[in-house]
A = this chain, B = another copy of it.
Amino acid sequence: MISKSCKYAIRAAVYIASQAVKDIKPGVKEIAEEIEAPPAFTAKVLQNLSKYKIVTSLKGPYGGFYCEQHQLELPVIEIVNAMDGVAVFKECVMGLHSCSDEHPCPMHFQYSEKRNNLLLSFQQTTIGSLARDLSGGKVYLKN
């Protein structure tokens, strides 16, 4: 459902957000280490997050990545949209193109209800709130 790139992206965004509140702008290398992801690939992921304005980047010395206030309030579904596209939580479990309440696949009703619960939590959880939990030491970004 969620690609590896997208998982890196969520981890990276949450880490960046957790540093941003301390006015720190980590660079690619540090971020890659903190989320245990390959540096070069992390760079690509960050490029995308920046392009979609989920994080902000600054080039040059003392540059790096950070979140502005309004970015901390973005729901994590925005990260999924940026990395994997909006369809992820809308696709049919059985792969039917035109699956809907009117033309349902055999699993449509039981599946779509539960998938919507998942979608809702992605819509209601902000990057900032995850970052706060991380800073609180209750949760982890590393193994």
- Taking beta carbons and an 8 Å cutoff, which residues of A are in contact with B? 1-2, 4, 7-8, 10-11, 14, 76, 92-98, 103-108, 110-111, 114-115, 117-118, 121, 125, 130-131, 133-134, 138-143
Contact = CB atoms under 8 A, between A and B. Distances in A.
A104 to B, nearest CB: 5
> How many protomers of this protein does the assembly include?
2
B110 A133 contact: no
Contacts of A8: 95
A8 B6 CA distance: 25
Given A10-B107, A106-B139, A114-B114, 19 more contacts: A7-B94, A10-B94, A11-B94, A96-B140, A96-B142, A96-B143, A98-B143, A103-B140, A103-B143, A105-B139, A105-B141, A107-B125, A107-B130, A108-B139, A110-B125, A111-B118, A111-B121, A114-B117, A114-B121
